[in-house]
Structure formats: C-alpha cells, structure tokens
Amino acid sequence: MNPPVDRPVEPLVDRPVDRPVDRTVLTAVRRAAAVVAAVVAALAAALAVGGPFALVIAAECLAALALVIVLARTPGGARERGAPRAAAAWARIARSRAWPRRRPPAAVVRPADFPSYAKISSDLGWAPISQWHYDHGIRRLFGRLAESALAERHRVDLTRDPERARHLVGDDIWPLIDPSRPPSFDSKAPGPDLPTLTRIVDRLEQL
C-alpha cells in the first residue's frame, strides 16, 4: 500500500453572502434624493426670478422649514406648538422682504388745495414790505385772533375794554394789533420784520 500523502489545507476565506436589501434604507435614500432635488430646484427658481437676494431669502425659508420638521420628529417636539407658528410668521416676513408690496404714490399737496393757508402765507411774506401791506393783510388776522383769545380765556371784550386788552397783550404788541388804529396807506414805510411778527404770534399763543 502506498502511504497517505498530506495535502495542503486550503485557508478559510469569507465568501460574500447574498443578503436581502433593507427596503427602509432604500426608502430613506430615495426621500433624501427627492428632498435635495426639490431644494435645488427651489433655489434655482428663486435665483432666476429674484436674483441673489431672493436666493438668500429662499434658503432661509428652507432652513426654517427643516428646523420645524426636525422639531416635530424629535421626542417632545409635538409639544412645541409655538415653533411652527413662529416659523410661519418668520416666513411671511421673509416673503415681504423678498417681494415687497407696492405702495400707492403719496398724494401731492399743493398750496391751491388750502386757500386759507396760502392766503396767510402770502400775507406774512408781504407784511415786512410796507406798512400798507401789513395793515391790509396779516394785521386783520392778528386782530381776530387776539379778540377771540381775550374773549375765551379772559372774558375781555377787545372793543369795549381796550385798556384791559392792552394790559393783557402788552404795550409792545398792542399798537400792532390795535383795532382802533386806522389802517395805513403808506407803501414806503417798512412793515414789521420777521422777528416782530414771530413775537406777535408767540404773544397771542400765550394769552
């Protein structure tokens, strides 16, 4: 008999074993790919429509949406009821920044729309030119204002009690609004200057 021959022992090699593919992993991968594609499409559309600024706003909105989704999936996230509302309010603010509403043009105010104001402004401008311009212009308004203020606040009749009215108005202002003084027709004598007119107005306000 022939003696037994020793054969070399083959090393043990791990052979790949076919395992079933986890469907959960595939579903997660597909969802992630769909989300990435949607995000890229949204950012591209924002860039095409509104430029770089709209791109930034869209990215911020997507980040806020992702934060809300993460909070909803975390333990106890469902109790954070204020988070979705805050994110929605923030999204509205971002949208208003990206696409602001056009406001109607402001109405143009013209002096012709306010004839009384235009008359007073004109009389004040002409008052320093001459005594005639002052007496036949703004002096009449000053007299009516003084008469009204004295009657309402002090119960003084300017025409019946001129001395009392003069004491309340002041000796420096009274000659400029005294109703008993006849109006001047002198167009060469200068009228009250701007500081004097301002002092008259201040005194009438203080009555």
CA atoms of 75 and 58, how far apart (whole Å): 28
- φ/ψ region of 106 (left if φ > 0, alpha if ψ in -120 to 50, else beta) reads beta
Rounded to the nearest 5 percent, the helix, strand and coil shares of the chain are: 65, 0, 35
Model pTM above 0.75? no
How is the chain split into domains, by residue range?
A: 23-98, 114-206
Strand (E) or helix (H) holding 120: helix 115-126
**Helix 162-169 and helix 138-154, axial crossing angle in degrees, nearest 10:** 100
Distance from CA of residue 83 to its chain's centroid? 27
pLDDT value, residue 132: 94
Q: How far apart are the first and last CA of the chain?
A: 147
Chain mean pLDDT for the chain: 74
Q: What is the DSSP string of 44-94?
A: HHHHHHHHHHHHHHHHHHHHHHHHHHHHHHSTTGGG-THHHHHHHHHHHHH
pLDDT value, residue 197: 93
pLDDT value, residue 127: 93
Segment 137-193, tens digit of pLDDT: 999 999 999 999 999 999 999 889 999 999 999 999 999 999 889 999 999 999 999
- pLDDT above 90: percentage of residues in the chain: 36
- Exposure string over 87-126, b if 16+ CB within 10 A, otherwise e: beeebeebeeebeeeeeeeeeeeeeeeeeeeeeeeebbeb
- pLDDT above 70: percentage of residues in the chain: 45
